[in-house]
Amino acid sequence: MVWNASGPRASRLLSAALSSDLRTRHGIRSLPVRKGDTVRIVRGDFTGIEGKITEIDRARSRLYVEGVTRDKVSGTSTKMSVHASKVLITGLSLDDRRRSKSIEKKKGAAKPETEMKEETG
């Protein structure tokens, strides 16, 4: 749980893997999820559902995704939460300049294996 974690630490704990398309485009493996990102659920009861993140609950380490609801006995529907480790990011929300900078910074820190082999060999 993220109860005692500070803001930046809590957001890092809510990271998810990028889809193969985004991995090749950006050169990184995972990112902290943000409201507005498009994700696909890959494990659990809602496997296969794809939608945008509408809400993030840092205290409980949970995400709320469009279309992930359950009908109650009374007939109303309620939002269901999903853990960040069970989703795959398929679309990034790059509205924030800070996020774009963090992606560039992370891309520069992670060198591809081919470059590492050339330096050592």
pLDDT at 43: 94
Domains of the chain: 7-120 (2.30.30.30)
pLDDT at 65: 95
pLDDT at 41: 96
**C-alpha span between 75 and 102 (Å, rounded):** 44
Instruction: State the 10-residue block means of pLDDT for the chain, 121 residues long.
Output: 70 88 91 93 94 91 93 94 94 88 82 58 54
pLDDT at 17: 94
**C-alpha span between 56 and 65 (Å, rounded):** 9
pLDDT at 59: 82
